[in-house]
A and B are shown apart, each in its own frame.
Chain A
Amino acid sequence: MRVVLAEDLYLLRDGMTHLLSAHGFEIVAAVASGPELQRALIDEDPDVAIVDVRLPPTFTDEGLQAALFARRRKPGLPVLVLSQHVEQLYARELLADGAGAIGYLLKDRVFNAEQFIDAVRRVAAGGTAMDPEVIAKLLAGNARNAPLATLSPRELDVLTLMAEGCSNTAIASRLFVSQGAVGKHTASIFGKLGLGLSDDTNRRVLAVLAYLNGQRGHQR
């Protein structure tokens, strides 16, 4: 699987290159700045791009802008955004096009190699991988949201994992319940939130996030 990696800190870039190579990924470009990243994204046509939000030369949100720009050129280009901090604002911007194949994780998550590699694979396959902290903020921010308040604690757990991008099987194993129970919970969640049923993981997450977004969508 061909990967473009953008990270300005040499140690982190090197470490991630080793980690990804060890898991059978092919690093076609490992770049350290925004303009380089933009060129690599257009020229190399990777299967997935792993991008740091803050990059030289401006050290603002250069990486994020490059990723958003590339996705406008190539809709659905899988991008996994890494950052030292996560913001709902950025998550919404990344999800706004509704094309999926988006990941947004704290850099800490790289420590857990299996979960990180799993997230990369999921994004490359067109799924989503949202950092638990983003999901927690999304849910906390919508605490007064009436339909959300009707969910049982268990259903909230399921919704959280679902929003992170887990499949029913993964949710079942994380919560130590049967798959059938997870299926029942998801059906109940969709019913309470007024969402149509769908068994596509990616569309499920997008639907959930779009729903959460919609609640506060009047933000200009």
Chain B
Amino acid sequence: MGGRGNARAIVRGLALFALGPVELVLFAAHLAAIAAACVGLVLLFPPLAERSRRLANLARRLAGEWCGMPVPLPYRPRPAPPTPGPDGIHRSLDGRRLFLTARMSGFERRSRWLWEDPATWRDVAWLLADPLVGGALAILPAAFICGGFWGALVYGAHGGEPLGWITGAMGIVLGPVIAPRALRLHGAWTRLLLGPASATALARGRARRHWLGEGLLSTFRCLVLGVLSPLAAAQLAVCLLAFVLTGPLIAMRVAVWARWLPNLFRHKGREWSGLDLPEPYLPVRGEGGTGPEGERPATPSAWWAGFSSRARSLGYDPATWRDLLWLACQPIVGTVPLLLPVAMIGYGVWGLGLPAAEVPLGNSHSPWYGELFGSVWAALAGGVVLLFAGLSTAPVLLRLHGRWLPLLLRPTAGARLLVEREQLAARVERLTETRAAATDAQAAEVRRIERDLHDGAQARLVAMGISLGAVGALIDKDPEQAKRLVEQIRDSSAHALAELRGLIRGIHPPVLAERGLVDAIRALALDNPLDVRVDADLDGRAEPPVESAAYFAVAEVLTNATRHSGADRVRIELLHTGGLLRITVLDDGGGGADPGMGSGLRGIESRLGTFDGRLAISSPQGGPTTVTMELPCVLSSPRTSTSSGTA
């Protein structure tokens, strides 16, 4: 019984060993697919990784059945098949990408699932390691027996050495004895890589990836900034040469042109080091000089005035001189520290590591290249240490560089003040504009009301008065005719009232006065032929003028949606957060609303502009259309009778 079990274990070991070459081939295929993905061929890796899971699963099953080491499946659950949104478009899980077909969307989900599952990468590591470690374990018993026979035959039978007989016999005996243990060990090894990773191992893996990623990214950024830094010296030289050789006329233009480099560093500082580095330059004024379009000034004196004022504003701008100082310092301060980690990694890998790997090929090395203290192995160790040191110092140096940049590139307090003053001036300008627009609109509105009253209700009342006079004259002579006239007068008064109602709605809708914005919009929604849904979350009422502006803006947007969009459903959301009333009107129509805006939309914008409100439209061809309006306002204490249950 035991003998048969041992023999079976040996055979199974051989079978497991035979898997090795297949694994190596698959590993090579994985490498190729990953390399292809790096150059954009992303279609190759996911199917390969998914199919190679069959081999890993086979190994797991064999570990359970043959080695007595059951290995649970470590994979994350397969993603659900994609379902299209209400608009028939598929969205990726994070909602940021859109797909037109279910197939593409499904592929995106599957490949994301495969790339992000750590078990995939453990599988790949197993494909490489198993032929070496697992294969050795599997073949061990058979190797003992073969070695035993070989020893016995070569040394014992032919050489006549008794030791050969003894070791040969020992090998032949030991092989079957250790076979079950070796098999069990193989199972344990399989479980080590193919089983689910523990939480701590996963966290460690993530931390390592994070460290490596940050190191590599910082190194790249150091390289870019380090290479750009010496350019500052050249830039400075160009500026100085321009001044010395051509005088201020050209130098002034060169100085403005030379700002691209400091600006580039400011941009990178903002992006990579999270610095607050706005452009510090004051606006260059050149009244009467050559404009940006290059038109000629009218007279030499006008040209001169423009030139001198531009020269003054450049000369008075502290940022000009701080830039020049920075151009002088950056090559010294920036280049060496930033390129240090790059050099460490470069020399570690290329100078010390790679030559050591070539030693087996019989190359010899100089002391600087591939050798440390005369030892190749010390060089290899040194190379590895340098690599790690470079990767860990790169983020630190990048941070230090981030401290240095603002010293000279940040706007001075005075410049900031000036910028603030400019912003204030712009704001005053905008306020003047919107105030003018508001008074214009109001005047037009009053004129319209006056005209409507004059031509409508007033005229009707006059007519009614005349008719009443006629009734007075007729009432005795011709009572029948008088009755008919009275009927007419009644109709006339009803018409006059209807007109007045319409006029009042246009001035200030009664529901708005009685119930506030939310219920007024609900009433609007109810009167609309489309299916309009209103979701409101306001705890209080805004100032009456703001409510009125918001109401008429929504009414206009809703009218547009009804007339032009071809929508069936409209959704209106009202929300007040952070001192901002946000109203979103969403319809499921055909979209394509002109972002250049028709007169209606422009009217809304100027209406909202009076209250510093904003209007944004997103209306791609094919829809949906979203109109967002924002109005800064405060809500006053709630009069909570509004939502007393519609429907």
A219 near B510: Cβ-Cβ < 8 Å: no
- Please give, as numbers and ranges, the residues of chain B lying within 8 Å of A191 by CB-CB distance: none
B519 near A89: Cβ-Cβ < 8 Å: yes
Q: Interface with B: A4-12, A42-50, A60-68, A170-178, which one? A: A60-68
The CA-CA distance from A217 to B536 in the complex, in Å, is 16
Query: Is B528 part of the binding interface, using a Cβ–Cβ cutoff of 8 Å?
Result: yes
A219 near B533: Cβ-Cβ < 8 Å: yes
Give the residue among A60, A87, A143, A144 with the most B Cβ atoms within 10 A. A87
Q: For the side of the interface on B, what is the size category? A: 20 to 34
* Given contacts A92-B646, A111-B490, A218 and B510 within 8 Å (CB-CB): no
B533 near A96: Cβ-Cβ < 8 Å: no
By beta carbon, the residue of chain A nearest B524 is A89
- Please give, as numbers and ranges, the residues of chain A lying within 8 Å of B505 by CB-CB distance: 85
The CA-CA distance from A65 to B525 in the complex, in Å, is 22
B511 near A87: Cβ-Cβ < 8 Å: yes
B511 near A220: Cβ-Cβ < 8 Å: no
Contact partner of A218 (CB less than 8 A), chosen from B514, B515, B533, is: B533
The CA-CA distance from A218 to B535 in the complex, in Å, is 11
Query: Is B418 part of the binding interface, using a Cβ–Cβ cutoff of 8 Å?
Result: no
* Given contacts A93-B646, A219-B533, A220-B646, A88 and B527 within 8 Å (CB-CB): yes
Query: Is A122 part of the binding interface, using a Cβ–Cβ cutoff of 8 Å?
Result: no
By beta carbon, the residue of chain B nearest A91 is B526
- Please give, as numbers and ranges, the residues of chain B lying within 8 Å of A61 by CB-CB distance: 514-515, 641
- Please give, as numbers and ranges, the residues of chain B lying within 8 Å of A93 by CB-CB distance: 644-646
By beta carbon, the residue of chain B nearest A144 is B529
Query: Is A213 part of the binding interface, using a Cβ–Cβ cutoff of 8 Å?
Result: yes
- Please give, as numbers and ranges, the residues of chain A lying within 8 Å of B527 by CB-CB distance: 88, 137, 140-141
The CA-CA distance from A15 to B107 in the complex, in Å, is 78
Query: Is B42 part of the binding interface, using a Cβ–Cβ cutoff of 8 Å?
Result: no
Q: Mark A91-104, 1 if CB is under 8 A from B, else 0.
A: 01100100000000
| Chain A 39-76 interface residues, beta-carbon cutoff 8 Å to B | 53-54, 59-61, 65, 68
Query: Is B335 part of the binding interface, using a Cβ–Cβ cutoff of 8 Å?
Result: no
* Given contacts A89-B526, A137-B527, A111 and B493 within 8 Å (CB-CB): yes
* Given contacts A60-B513, A141-B529, A213 and B501 within 8 Å (CB-CB): no
By beta carbon, the residue of chain B nearest A64 is B514
CB distance from A99 to the nearest CB of B (A): 15
B523 near A87: Cβ-Cβ < 8 Å: yes
The CA-CA distance from A60 to B513 in the complex, in Å, is 6
CB distance from B644 to the nearest CB of A (A): 6
- Please give, as numbers and ranges, the residues of chain B lying within 8 Å of A218 by CB-CB distance: 533, 647
Contact partner of B529 (CB less than 8 A), chosen from A84, A106, A143, A217, is: A143
- Please give, as numbers and ranges, the residues of chain B lying within 8 Å of A88 by CB-CB distance: 523, 526-527
Query: Is B614 part of the binding interface, using a Cβ–Cβ cutoff of 8 Å?
Result: no
A219 near B515: Cβ-Cβ < 8 Å: no
Query: Is A14 part of the binding interface, using a Cβ–Cβ cutoff of 8 Å?
Result: no
Q: Mark B125-153, 1 if CB is under 8 A from A, else 0.
A: 00000000000000000000000000000
The CA-CA distance from A64 to B30 in the complex, in Å, is 76
- Please give, as numbers and ranges, the residues of chain A lying within 8 Å of B529 by CB-CB distance: 140-141, 143-144
- Please give, as numbers and ranges, the residues of chain A lying within 8 Å of B530 by CB-CB distance: 144
CB distance from B73 to the nearest CB of A (A): 46
Query: Is B443 part of the binding interface, using a Cβ–Cβ cutoff of 8 Å?
Result: no
B646 near A89: Cβ-Cβ < 8 Å: yes
The CA-CA distance from A85 to B506 in the complex, in Å, is 13
Query: Is B534 part of the binding interface, using a Cβ–Cβ cutoff of 8 Å?
Result: yes
The CA-CA distance from A87 to B535 in the complex, in Å, is 19
* Given contacts A60-B513, A61-B515, A65-B641, A89 and B490 within 8 Å (CB-CB): no
Query: Is B433 part of the binding interface, using a Cβ–Cβ cutoff of 8 Å?
Result: no
B504 near A219: Cβ-Cβ < 8 Å: no
| Chain B 503-552 interface residues, beta-carbon cutoff 8 Å to A | 504-505, 510-511, 513-515, 519, 522-523, 525-531, 533-536
Query: Is A216 part of the binding interface, using a Cβ–Cβ cutoff of 8 Å?
Result: yes
Query: Is A108 part of the binding interface, using a Cβ–Cβ cutoff of 8 Å?
Result: yes
CB distance from A110 to the nearest CB of B (A): 11
A220 near B523: Cβ-Cβ < 8 Å: no
A60 near B526: Cβ-Cβ < 8 Å: no
The CA-CA distance from A213 to B647 in the complex, in Å, is 6
B510 near A84: Cβ-Cβ < 8 Å: yes
The CA-CA distance from A84 to B494 in the complex, in Å, is 12
B526 near A85: Cβ-Cβ < 8 Å: no
3 closest A-B pairs by beta carbon, nearest first, are A88-B526, A61-B514, A89-B523
19 pairs, A vs B, C-beta closer than 8 Å? A61-B641, A83-B510, A84-B501, A87-B511, A89-B515, A89-B646, A92-B646, A108-B493, A111-B490, A111-B494, A137-B527, A144-B530, A144-B568, A216-B647, A217-B647, A219-B522, A219-B526, A219-B534, A220-B536
Chain B positions within 8 Å of A, measured between CB atoms, are 490, 493-494, 497-498, 501, 504-505, 510-511, 513-515, 519, 522-523, 525-531, 533-536, 568, 641, 643-647
Known: A92-B646, A220-B536. 18 other contacts (CB 8 A): A60-B513, A61-B641, A83-B510, A84-B504, A85-B511, A88-B527, A89-B522, A89-B523, A89-B526, A93-B645, A96-B647, A106-B497, A108-B497, A137-B527, A213-B647, A216-B531, A217-B647, A220-B533
